[in-house]
Structure 1
């Protein structure tokens, strides 16, 4: 298969199911490779390029990589854990709730004076000598540092300063993961996510470097992205530091890709396999939030879990439960089509009054979802409504989401936003509200970069 010479291709790699596709700017399939499950993603990408002679230049490669677990984390890489928040936030120590086996990955653990109030004011000066002393105790003992400051989402200054002090002491080869890099409300959830990212950074680097080497061979000018658990993208340079963000990418990419294969922007999607069925929804390129936070290896993180229903074939009344899950997912949105993919797609009956769509290339759904994935930025935090009132908070939340989407690679000319969801915090002594908003848009193509530069 070939495509016009002026078209720049988008390549999607499903590293879980060993599939790869190249699509043109119109979303049409140009080249396909179906490997054997277990083939390394780099080998799958290499095979795609070798099977597609005459392919046009590639603008980007977007990959679904398998979830990383602590058991795979480079012989249990050790992590130094530092919390900036004494004396205010010492009642519950770092790694609270972790099993002894999981907590064994930690090296030195400390809490130092510092942190901020809910409105960004300094609650205690940062104890810089204590931070430096912590770093020295970690020298030669840890592979990475997890650093979390109290209320650092509102004011990251102490986190940033502490990270600079640690880098001065340990050098650039010991990465520092900051909790404020994760958009999570709870201190423990941000801290847990930073610790997990720090523990997985070495294993993440190995996987990404292997894929990056294959990209450089076949498409040296292409940008490399990874799919997040919500089906949007993460630039590869950031993905090293945020391995937890990949969690669930295989399903996130599949939901979006199945809708794209069916030719619809939104859908209820069912993946039916020999062992289970998964029912989810994609709405205009976004996955509805379940309101729950994702657990990784039994550890509660700051990552939000999409709304999915998993039904195992061993469950009694399997077919009826699948149909009930589809009905719940529709939630009154009767216009939403139902798309069914997977090796057992034909075994899922059509819901009452609905003709389900079963794309012929359903096994490529996750790879297609990767190839056409968009960039997004989300904000979910409590805003203190100061002298500017609620409107200033809404404006700030929207700008933070837009900035995050641009950093992820979105085209600024094509961004769209979800409505801002607001929940007043009536149990706090000052005017405050929890605001949630997402900005999302297609990736900026390399040929378009000059068009948006000032």
Structure 2
């Protein structure tokens, strides 16, 4: 019996859907407008892609969703959980309070119940002071009925998780097993304040993630599909629904990473630069061994600095709906504003009154779309200057992402990629593969499941071999928890960085394991 998988990616402009067979061949694809409530757009795209394919619903066994729900909730400060933020680190960390440097409106939403508790560890795993369990019991009783999600951050918990784990048990004992608890050691890396912010944000979007998951599962049920459901995460891999509801922060920026994974698959390349051109922006990222290169910088989400893993991307204000502003003396500016999903009504080629990048490409005969006669009156030499500048913006972004001067393959994906030429400076070759318009949905459908850990080890005590083996087995266990088949697991990335400022020959080890989906669905 043939089995199929459905991949859906929700972007700011479009919701894309694809149906793949068991050999990952595209059976049908569709693009529909993203709706304000998001769910309607998902229903529409799913219904269209299944109807087009004429496939029996019971043969669809896997469903993958890449979504911007959690990012939007943080940016818009909407639908967030009532949280308590508990930092275990007194008396060592009293100088800088939790949520320092976070925008006032976000602090007002998330900072109602903030607590500092005695405890925490040194960089080498020694306790600073004993954990103040009595204080934790007092806090738990205080927040009972007031909060539905708790963020626990302990000093140097990537070295020792003991105090976070004990605190979690106390909160569960008082508040019951249903309360959502986020532990910083499972989310961020070393660096207390950024890890704490990431954990607080994670705790704040658990309800949003659960709503999105329920909405997706209900959409599937409405089509009589009983599939195993996975969410895209921001390293270009998948996680099970249970895992996604525990760690929703990992869905942030999964759209661009899905596009990178889809581009790798469609272009049959493991190392390349990917330009994903949407309706409003173009995201430029780098593939290394078929996975997105990770950013080594702190990342701001909704104004809060965090340090959990994120893809290394440059985003430029150039998309299919970007507005061209004509100025005096033939001068012009490109964007950054865009007509977005209103392109079919606003662009000149569709009878609108707004000059967009798509109009420029059509007027120059580079793209066959809409009614070219509506832009035939525009001055060609001026349009050529605009087009050259559009291409230059992309070439500059590609150049910034390269680590050497050597030419490198470039893969163009996304609905707006038809605007760009197949020759670009700095590219050894430029590919625009078939189905590139829905590369993000394909990326979510074909992705593997991964697990990643980051820990500090004192090599004088444990030795390098033992440290690496311990991190690898922990990464594999995390991947299995996220829904990977243990038989297919491989280690896809190992990084160990000596920490010269810490004694004991300390090293930060980061390991990532990835495997195929568990097929016992």
Q: CA deviation at 1:101?
A: 1.8
Q: Deviations over 1:328-366 (max 9, x none)?
A: 545349685321123432332312474411124222111
Q: CA deviation at 1:243?
A: 2.4
Q: Deviations over 1:380-429 (max 9, x none)?
A: 33221243322222222222222222222223233222453222212222
Task: Tell me whether 1:363 sits opposite 2:437 in the alignment.
Answer: yes
**Residue equivalent to 1:310:** 315
Q: Does structure 2 conserve the Cα–Cα contact (< 8 Å) formed by 1:425 and 1:434?
A: yes
| Matched length | 442
Task: Tell me whether 1:54 sits opposite 2:55 in the alignment.
Answer: yes
Mapped partners of 1:384, 1:204: distance in 2: 37
Q: Does structure 1 conserve the Cα–Cα contact (< 8 Å) formed by 2:75 and 2:302?
A: no
Map 1:32-431 → 2, pairs under 5 A = 32-38=29-35, 39-55=40-56, 57-66=59-68, 67-70=71-74, 75-105=79-109, 106-218=111-223, 221-273=226-278, 275-313=280-318, 314=334, 317-332=389-404, 336-349=408-421, 350-352=423-425, 354-418=428-492, 420-431=494-505
Q: CA deviation at 1:72?
A: 5.0
Bigger shift: residues 50-59 or 223-232: 50-59
Q: CA deviation at 1:203?
A: 1.9
Q: Does structure 1 conserve the Cα–Cα contact (< 8 Å) formed by 2:277 and 2:412?
A: yes
Secondary structure of the residue that 2:146 maps to in structure 1? coil
Q: Does structure 2 conserve the Cα–Cα contact (< 8 Å) formed by 1:179 and 1:191?
A: yes
Question: Taking structure 1 as reference, are residues 34 and 342 closer, same or farther at Cα in structure 2, changes over 3 Å only?
Answer: closer
Secondary structure of the residue that 2:503 maps to in structure 1? coil
Mapped partners of 2:304, 2:229: distance in 1: 29
Q: Does structure 2 conserve the Cα–Cα contact (< 8 Å) formed by 1:68 and 1:243?
A: no
Secondary structure of the residue that 1:18 maps to in structure 2? strand
**Residue equivalent to 2:24:** 27
> Any unmatched runs of 5+ in structure 1?
1-5, 448-454
Question: Taking structure 1 as reference, are residues 219 and 413 closer, same or farther at Cα in structure 2, changes over 3 Å only?
Answer: farther
Q: CA deviation at 1:23?
A: 0.9
Mapped partners of 2:80, 2:466: distance in 1: 45
Q: Does structure 1 conserve the Cα–Cα contact (< 8 Å) formed by 2:264 and 2:290?
A: no
Mapped partners of 1:235, 1:72: distance in 2: 26
> Any unmatched runs of 5+ in structure 2?
319-333, 336-385
Mapped partners of 2:401, 2:306: distance in 1: 25
Q: CA deviation at 1:134?
A: 0.8
Secondary structure of the residue that 1:290 maps to in structure 2? coil
Q: CA deviation at 1:119?
A: 3.4
Mapped partners of 2:146, 2:402: distance in 1: 52
**Equivalent of 1:14, from 9, 21, 34?**
9
Mapped partners of 1:157, 1:292: distance in 2: 28
Q: Deviations over 1:291-325 (max 9, x none)?
A: 11221111011222322222334389442242233
Mapped partners of 1:364, 1:246: distance in 2: 19
Q: Does structure 1 conserve the Cα–Cα contact (< 8 Å) formed by 2:269 and 2:290?
A: no
Q: CA deviation at 1:367?
A: 0.6
Question: Taking structure 1 as reference, are residues 123 and 220 closer, same or farther at Cα in structure 2, changes over 3 Å only?
Answer: farther
**Equivalent of 2:508, from 424, 431, 434?**
434
Q: Deviations over 1:252-288 (max 9, x none)?
A: 1111112322333443211234543322122333111
Bigger shift: residues 34-43 or 84-93: 34-43
Q: Does structure 2 conserve the Cα–Cα contact (< 8 Å) formed by 1:73 and 1:202?
A: no
Mapped partners of 1:234, 1:294: distance in 2: 22
Q: CA deviation at 1:184?
A: 1.3
Q: CA deviation at 1:224?
A: 0.9
Secondary structure of the residue that 2:246 maps to in structure 1? coil
Q: Does structure 2 conserve the Cα–Cα contact (< 8 Å) formed by 1:15 and 1:44?
A: no
Mapped partners of 1:333, 1:224: distance in 2: 42
Secondary structure of the residue that 1:291 maps to in structure 2? coil
Q: Alignment RMSD, CA only?
A: 2.5
Q: Does structure 1 conserve the Cα–Cα contact (< 8 Å) formed by 2:274 and 2:412?
A: yes
Q: Deviations over 1:224-266 (max 9, x none)?
A: 1111122211211121232221111111111111232233344
- Larger Rg belongs to: 2
Mapped partners of 2:506, 2:144: distance in 1: 42
Q: Does structure 2 conserve the Cα–Cα contact (< 8 Å) formed by 1:59 and 1:223?
A: yes
Mapped partners of 1:285, 1:295: distance in 2: 26
Q: CA deviation at 1:76?
A: 4.7
Question: Taking structure 1 as reference, are residues 215 and 446 closer, same or farther at Cα in structure 2, changes over 3 Å only?
Answer: farther
Secondary structure of the residue that 1:207 maps to in structure 2? helix
Q: Deviations over 1:24-49 (max 9, x none)?
A: 22210123333223243244334433
Superposition TM-score, scaled by structure 1 size: 0.89
**Residue equivalent to 2:371:** none
